[in-house]
Amino acid sequence: MNELARLRPMLPSDCRKPFSDPDWGYELKYDGYRLLADVDQGKVELRTKSGADATKWFPETVRALSGLPGQQVFDGEVCVLDEYGRPDFVSLHRRALSRRYVPGAPVVAYIVFDLLIADGDDVMGQPFVERKRRLTELLKQPPDGVLALSYIETEGEW
C-alpha cells in the first residue's frame, strides 16, 4: 500500500487550441478532485495529487474498489455527477471540505483515466493505448460508482 508515496498523476498535455492527430488520444475533461487509488488484495488507499490521504473522504469509492482483484494503482478523478452525468464541482468541494463522509452528502463517482500499476507491475512505461486496453479489460464490469473513461482516437477537434 505504499505505492502512492512515489507516484503522481499522469497530467494531460496543455495546448493552445484543439487539434486532431492520428498519434493522439483525447479524453473528456471531468471537473473533480484528482485521486490515485491503490488497490491491494481488497485494501484501498486514496491520495490527492498533492499527496493528501483521502481514503476516509470517499468511503463509497473505497468500498467499490475493494472488490477488485490483485494489486492495481489507478489514476482518476472523483466527481459528484448531476442527474445528466455532468460534474458538479461545487457539491464535490462542499462535501470534501469536511475531510470525511457525512451522512446525506452527495455520492461520488470515481472516473478512472489510467492504470499505473497492473497486477503489481509498473506499466507507466507502456504506451497509452496498451494501458487503456488493460484498464478497459480490468474494469469490463466496473463496480457501482466506478467508470473507466474511454478516449477518442485522432479526432481532438471534435
d(CA 14, CA 83) in angstroms, rounded, equals 30
Could you say which DSSP state residue 17 is in?
S
Q: Identify the CA nearest to 4 among candidates 33, 41, 44, 31.
A: 44
154: CB partners within 8 A, 6+ apart: 20, 21, 22, 24
Query: Which grid cell sits at 21?
Result: 492527430
Report the alpha-carbon distance of residue 93 to residue 72 in Å, rounded.
27
Q: Which three cell numbers stand for residue 102?
A: 457525512
140 counts as catalytic: no
Nine-digit cell string for 13 = 498535455
Q: Rounded to the nearest 5 degrees, what angle is found at the Cα of 49, between the Cα atoms of 86 and 94?
A: 50
Catalytic residue among 17, 29, 43, 49: 29
Write out the catalytic residue numbers.
29
